């Protein structure tokens, strides 16, 4: 006999608590914007659920939204149990669990895709840096020009965005450009921002050694700061080092360095819906760049997107980028001195998108 709604709700919460790893629970604490004073109490899945219930962040009416935020494998495991006694909301639905207002910038429909009908599709801000002052003690980023050309061609000529190419700005100049972009009133269907520079895991560097935090940049384009992008996809590509060592292949595949990724990414998670953060490497690791060809990540984004954008969605293309990159590295191993194994390259994606993104009408 099927359990009633209340019983099913308690069962699903217990299942969520059991399936979440400790790192997953701590990462979700950031994603759900749990009050800072409560975060210290969260050490595993059960304490996360307890804190959420105490703060009225989860209830029978909000379970669908909670499942959307879980790792895909966990959500797929638990969602059928909830569907058995509850009708799931439409893909674009937003409840009070979401940390942004209901999208009003686009007309709501039964479609599972974001609107992408206008030409140009929207603005694409490209910030690239390869020359740095001696005071900054940062090295020249050889190969950056190759990335710059590919990104301009891909987003401008292929995907039909209005590209704003900003090159080697200092801290003040970068801040000014970001603020002016967020203040624009003519945002169309989507916004893209690409940053290519040195980084330290939480921020990127300008030519004078100034640091601009990733979160600060994304905050500028939240609905409360950029009304024109309310309810529209905001996609950020961070092509920067997030550490000093390269990732390595292990005998059983990628290895443990790719595990617990949600915990490593917790400081970079978007705290609003409609964001997609595309990282060229895993936090804690260096970004692979060929001085003659540019970064391996941008090379594969360019190839995958150009070949597949008419029929394939954003997330699937990013998955293809990740698979293609490591397949190439398996076929042509790169063995560096002081490394036990050839390098690999995982490029994670963090998404709070509520619909699918296709760059074709």
pLDDT tens digits for range 183-202: 998 999 999 999 999 888 78
Q: Which domains does the chain have, with CATH numbers?
A: 5-83 (1.10.533), 122-351 (3.40.50.1460)
Shortest CA distance to 317 belongs to which of 275, 288, 359, 265?
Answer: 359
Shortest CA distance to 24 belongs to which of 263, 350, 305, 220?
Answer: 263
Placement of tokens 């984004």 in the chain: 301
Report pTM.
Answer: 0.64
Cα→Cα distances 266→26, 76, 201, 206, 227, Å: 8, 22, 11, 24, 26
d(CA 143, CA 132): 14
Taking residue 131's Cβ as centre, other Cβ atoms within 10 Å add up to: 12
Highest mean pLDDT among 57-71, 179-193, 321-335: 179-193
Specify the range with the lowest mean pLDDT, choosing from 110-119, 236-245, 299-308.
Answer: 236-245
Q: pLDDT digit string (tens) for 213-245?
A: 988 999 999 988 999 999 999 999 998 855 444
Dihedral of alpha carbons 152, 325, 197, 28, sign: positive
Q: Which residues, including other chains, have CB under 8 Å from residue 338's CB and lie 6 or more apart?
A: none
The mean pLDDT value for 117-133 works out to 94
pLDDT of residue 327: 72
Per the structure block, which two tokens stand in for 154?
Answer: 């891909």
Cα→Cα distances 354→34, 40, 93, Å: 20, 29, 8
d(CA 348, CA 11): 31
Predicted confidence band of residue 86 (pLDDT cuts 50, 70, 90): very low
Rounded to the nearest 10 degrees, the angle between the axes of helix 5-19 and helix 72-83 is 170
Cβ 359 vs Cβ 306: under 8 Å: no
Q: Which residues, including other chains, have CB under 8 Å from residue 149's CB and lie 6 or more apart?
A: none
pLDDT of residue 337: 53
d(CA 177, CA 127): 9
Specify the range with the lowest mean pLDDT, choosing from 205-214, 241-250, 331-340.
Answer: 241-250
Q: Could you tell me whether strands 294-295 and 289-290 are parallel, antiparallel, or unpaired per DSSP bridges? A: antiparallel
Q: For residue 101, what is the DSSP state?
A: P
Helices H / strands E in the chain, number of each:
12, 12
244 vs 147, which has greater pLDDT?
Answer: 147
């Amino acid at each position: 006999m099927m359990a009633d709604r209340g019983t099913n709700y308690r069962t699903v919460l217990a299942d969520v608590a059991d399936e979440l790893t400790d790192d997953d629970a701590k990462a979700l604490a950031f994603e759900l914007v749990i009050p800072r004073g409560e975060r210290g109490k969260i050490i595993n899945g059960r304490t996360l659920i307890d804190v959420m219930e105490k703060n009225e962040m989860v209830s029978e009416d909000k379970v669908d939204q909670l499942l959307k935020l879980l790792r895909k494998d966990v959500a797929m495991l638990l969602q059928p149990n909830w569907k058995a006694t509850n009708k799931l909301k439409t893909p674009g639905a937003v409840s009070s669990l979401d940390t942004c207002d209901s999208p009003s910038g686009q007309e709501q429909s039964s479609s599972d895709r974001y609107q992408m009908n206008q030409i140009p599709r929207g603005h694409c801000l490209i910030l690239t840096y390869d020359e740095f002052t001696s005071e900054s003690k940062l090295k020249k980023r050889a190969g950056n020009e190759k990335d710059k050309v590919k990104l301009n061609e891909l987003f401008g000529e292929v995907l039909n965005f209005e590209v704003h190419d900003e090159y080697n700005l200092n801290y003040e100049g970068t801040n000014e450009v970001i603020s002016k972009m967020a203040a624009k009133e003519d945002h169309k269907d989507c916004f893209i921002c690409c940053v290519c520079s040195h980084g330290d895991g939480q921020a990127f560097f300008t030519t004078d050694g100034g640091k601009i935090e990733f979160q600060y940049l994304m905050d500028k384009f939240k609905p409360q700061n950029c009304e024109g992008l309310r309810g529209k996809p905001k996609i950020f590509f961070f092509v920067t080092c997030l550490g000093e060592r390269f990732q390595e292949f292990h005998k059983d595949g990628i290895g443990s360095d790719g595990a617990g990724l949600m915990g490593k990414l917790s400081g970079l998670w978007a705290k609003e819906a409609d964001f997609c953060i595309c990282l060229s490497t895993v936090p804690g690791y260096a970004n692979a760049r060929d001085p003659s060809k540019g970064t391996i990540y941008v090379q594969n984004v360019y190839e995958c997107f150009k070949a597949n954008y008419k029929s394939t969605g954003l997330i699937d293309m990013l998955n293809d980028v990740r698979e293609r990159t490591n397949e190439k590295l398996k076929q042509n191993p790169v063995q560096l001195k002081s490394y036990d194994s050839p390098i690999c390259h995982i490029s994670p994606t963090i998404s709070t998108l509520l619909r699918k993104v296709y760059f074709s009408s």
